Amino acid sequence: MIEARELTKRFGRLTAVNELTFTVRPGQVTGFLGPNGAGKSTTLRMILGLNAPTSGTATIDGRPFRLEGTGLRRVGALLDAGDVHRGRSAQAHVAALARSNGLPRERVTAVLREVGLSEAARRRVGEFSLGMRQRLGLACALLGDPPVLIFDEPINGLDPEGIRWARALFRRLASEGRTVLVSSHMMSEMEHTADHLIVVGGGRLIADEPLSEFAARASRPTVTVRSEDSRRLSAVLTAAGGEVMQLGNGSLTVAKLSTSQIGEVAFSNRIMVYEVAVTSGALEEAFMELTASSVVHRAAES
Ligand SMILES: Nc1ncnc2c1ncn2[C@@H]1O[C@H](COP(=O)(O)OP(=O)(O)OP(=O)(O)O)[C@@H](O)[C@H]1O
């Protein structure tokens, strides 16, 4: 379990992380979301003991973590995929890490296979694409078979097949009971991967809740209605409590009323309806709105 309590980091006059309190639980993928500069990397670095907090605490399984010694058996992390010796082969890079952490050589072959780099293992990392370097970073994170995994923007640079693969990997790691924290600045990367979301903006906590609840709250479903008389229908739906918008083609979009309520209102007013369709608002938009306006929403501790 990862815990941040009133975690704060200031760089001079800038408060990059502002009294963040959250818990990341095992057995699920937790998405750590926020726009560029929201303070995600700084938070992850404090959790990993790479940056000292200005105030507050960050712990893993109840104690502060240091990424030294046999640390890789406790926590695996992917921070900056570019942070490797470019002249070394992938295999030499992972083998050196295994040696310094007292991990068996077999793990090197196993993790390179796991991330799909077996064939490229002898190539120099300097020749790798960003996607391959991300895979290499993931291999290093998995090396110690740790119960806690922290990935900072791991999807960056992966092609569509790589993204599918990474999502499946995160889900599998969580299903094995591990704690999996994945940061991203895009909701679309998280909506098919995360079970739980921690959203930050301007260093502050904006949301901490299951993805399903965020989706239900954020993406207000609207109904599009095509009828014989959109003007009259608009009036009666508004009177019934709907939020109605006229579309150019004579259709209406209606929020706050269900399809059956709309059907009943139309029927009782003898307005012929030709088409009724539900569209759910895009999560990405809701996320952008939420972080742009920095509406503070703190869900109850679950
Ligand atoms: N070492 C540092 N010195 C000064 N300012 C820093 C330092 N590290 C981060 N910052 C600043 O702190 C803020 C938060 O940065 P951070 O990298 O944590 O955000 P992020 O959410 O990870 O964003 P991104 O998605 O762009 O990586 C930014 O304004 C950044 O410029």
The structural domains of the chain, ordered by start, are 2-216 (3.40.50.300), 220-280 (3.30.70.120)
> For position 70, what pLDDT does the model report?
64
Report the distance separating Cα 92 and Cα 291, nearest Å: 42
Q: How far apart are the first and last CA of the chain?
A: 14
151-186 pLDDT, tens digit each = 999 988 888 889 999 999 999 999 999 999 999 988
Q: Can you give the pLDDT at residue 263? A: 94
Residue nearest to atom 12 of ligand 1 (CA): 16
**Residue 298, pLDDT score:** 37
Q: Write phi, then psi, for 165 (nearest 5 degrees).
A: -65, -45
Q: Which is nearest to 67 in space by CA: 29, 104, 97?
A: 97
User: ipTM strictly over 0.85?
Assistant: yes
pLDDT of residue 29: 97
Q: Is the Cβ–Cβ distance between 72 and 103 less than 8 Å?
A: yes
DSSP state letter for 246:
E
* pTM for the full predicted model: 0.79
Best residue for ligand 1 mutational test, from 9, 13, 40, 204 (most atoms within 8 Å of Cβ): 40
Low-confidence ranges of the chain (pLDDT < 50): 294-302
> Residue 37: CB within 6 Å of ligand 1?
yes
Determine which residue's CA is closest to atom 8 belonging to ligand 1. Answer: 42
Q: Encode pLDDT of 39-81 as tens digits.
A: 999 999 999 999 999 999 999 999 888 866 568 889 999 987 5
Q: Which pLDDT score, from 0 to 100, does residue 83 have?
A: 66
Q: What DSSP character marks residue 89?
A: B
CA quadruple 277, 282, 286, 289: dihedral sign:
negative
Q: Which amino acid is at 62?
A: G
Q: If phi over 0 gives left and psi between -120 and 50 gives alpha, with beta otherwise, what is residue 300?
A: beta
At 295 the pLDDT is: 37
Q: Which two tokens stand for residue 248?
A: 């150019």
Please give the number of the atom of ligand 1 that sits closest to the Cα of 185.
Answer: 25
Position 228 scores a pLDDT of 92
Protein residue with least CA distance to atom 31, ligand 1: 37
Q: Are 184 and 31 spatial neighbours (Cβ–Cβ below 8 Å)? A: yes
